[in-house]
Chain A
């Protein structure tokens, strides 16, 4: 056991001392900060859009449309400028004269370019707005103008029918109160906190998926490096195969655990500072029905199951190309869980998801994602037992195969690899 711990310690320190570890550690905080700060920075530095309004309706809609454009949901508030090149005889002429300003071929009298223009004109019983904008992606202007003109026309028509201003204001303030209730909600009424279990379940499933992929890569490279340099032979003369495999798996688990613990601490502090209620809600998700133990079970089982596989594969490979030969199909299989995990939020008990739960390679991911639905105890016990049985079988096969691979020399031979697994062939 002490050898296992010493191998784990060396493995841990070997990774902790690399720049890659520190980059990984800082990745999430830097990424989160960028995600929060970047849009603010973009908005802060964006130039103020200039918009012009031309009204042919005679209904004084220019103020309404101008206000809507200025306050629209566009990234930055706009300023209304007098329409350049006016006056205009009709909407077609207005469009034709404004277009050079919108194209940037001409500048506004005070300098600068025109970013958007609204040309309002009658259209039968209603009005039409030809909205010109340089930014075709930003639909904020379109929605704001549409809503503002609709409200203005409705108000105008109701006023014409004799509705007084007070009644009009009261009618406009009427809106239905819709509340969502669910038996899964703590108080019956669904609050933001009640949606947290689904989100946490998906997050934990994806986190496990990331840990497995990251840890597996580390393990694979570590064993390959030791095999290439023949250190593996010295290790085999100093420790048993379970000690070597266990030490490596534990060491890399500690590395990924350190990164996760750091990330989760940072995220926890940020959430606690910005929204203490959300932090308490998250804490509640983990402590409800000892869900933390549930996640720990599937994290441990899932990591062990994949780590054993990757360590064994590493023992047979001396180059990345050889490893890719073996792991190509594995990577295709590994791409399946994320697709279905996201479905677990809306349909945690869908028959397909429940079926996937019983495929050992998918069990830890699917069960983590389905956590919010509180799967029955028998299902937890049975899938847990299945997962650890598969891992135990894997170890039973892998221990002699690892030795066989580690001592083999020459080019990787896939027949030798599968032969070693099937026959549990020690050299």
Chain B
């Protein structure tokens, strides 16, 4: 099956500043891809190049088989990072209008708008001006406006920002639904939890460069697993455990110590634990912590201060 999106060696420079540097990745149909990175990583610039809004300085973008994204714009749905809609329009008319720009008739666009709004609990607000809707509802309307024309590729730039937890959950379900009907979803975010729950593939960027491209599991595997040991013992006794990368002790009240033992990639935690017990240490609690995408993000981007 042909890839939905192929980005090959794409670079974007503004004078001396390089916003995106030699970016390459591929997204297959039906996949959900997370475009992750701290603020200023080059995510929005990359999204704009994928949409054809700006031209790469070098490299090539192929979207739905076309070298010019403008040729396939009717098959793409896009939600920009900072959102807004025509405040005086009703949700039905706003969605209908945007769908009509994607090749649907105005009547068909409005019919689909009514179906979508009803399906997502906005039926009673569909004919009220958008300015009278709450911020969450207005954001939902805009997200739905990207879907009314049944796009094959949906690009969402920071779609979760500004949504409350309930609406975030709704959006996650919506994204899974889009992928379930065969469309490809690309969304950028710096909130790792959403990407971890949703994505088949993640591309991590920092300072314009790609630092990781692969599955969530592969990303996690890049981060160390951690063996947590609590008890009354000397942390130095753990220094020669097999597969250990580093250890971080912290005192416990009223007595004892908690030691986080970072394991080298692929090192078996059971062997380290067995050796620790074999030393006869007074270990009262132990826990093996699998790494999260967040850990991988911190490790791979080195931008921990800006991530969540």
A interface with B by C-beta (< 8 Å) = 3, 6-7, 10, 14, 17-18, 228-231, 233-240, 403, 407, 426-427
Contacts and interface: CB of A to CB of B under 8 A. Distances in A.
Contacts of B191: none
A124 to B, nearest CB: 79
B80 A230 contact: yes
Contact of B97 (A10, A228, A426): A10
Which 5 A-B pairs give the minimum distances between C-beta atoms?
A: A229-B84, A238-B101, A233-B80, A237-B78, A427-B54
Contacts of A6: 97, 100-101, 106
B275 interface: no
- Provide the main secondary structure of the chain A interface: helix
Given A234-B78, A237-B53, A427-B54, 19 more contacts: A6-B101, A7-B101, A14-B86, A14-B89, A229-B84, A229-B86, A230-B84, A231-B84, A231-B85, A233-B80, A234-B79, A234-B80, A237-B51, A238-B101, A239-B73, A407-B48, A407-B53, A427-B48, A427-B53
A10 B97 CA distance: 8
Contacts of B97: 6, 10
Interface of B: 48, 51-55, 70, 73, 76, 78-89, 97-98, 100-102, 106, 145
24 contacts: A6-B101, A6-B106, A14-B86, A17-B88, A18-B88, A228-B84, A229-B83, A229-B84, A229-B85, A230-B83, A231-B84, A234-B78, A234-B79, A234-B145, A235-B101, A236-B53, A237-B51, A237-B73, A237-B76, A238-B101, A238-B102, A239-B73, A240-B70, A426-B54
B48 A14 contact: no
A231 B97 CA distance: 12
A18 B80 CA distance: 28
Contacts of A14: 86, 88-89
Nearest to A7: B101
A18 B86 CA distance: 13
A6 B53 CA distance: 21
Contacts of B70: 240
Contacts of B98: 234, 238
Contacts of B85: 229, 231
B52 to A, nearest CB: 8
A3 B87 CA distance: 21
Contacts of B79: 234
Contacts of A407: 48, 53-54
Contacts of A231: 84-86
Contacts of A403: 53
Contacts of B87: 229
A7 B76 CA distance: 19
- Name which of B73, B76, B87 has the most chain A CB atoms within 10 A of its CB: B73
- Name which of A18, A230, A234 has the most chain B CB atoms within 10 A of its CB: A234
Nearest to A227: B84
A410 B100 CA distance: 31
Nearest to B52: A237
Contacts of A3: 101
Contacts of B78: 233-234, 237-238
Nearest to B12: A427
A379 B82 CA distance: 51
A229 B76 CA distance: 21
Contacts of B102: 238
Nearest to B76: A237
Contact of B53 (A17, A228, A230, A233): A233
- Name which of A10, A14, A18, A427 has the most chain B CB atoms within 10 A of its CB: A10
B101 A230 contact: no
A6 B97 CA distance: 8
B90 to A, nearest CB: 11
A233 B81 CA distance: 10
A403 B48 CA distance: 12
Nearest to B157: A233
B84 A239 contact: no
Contacts of B83: 229-230
A408 B53 CA distance: 12
Contacts of B101: 3, 6-7, 235, 238-239
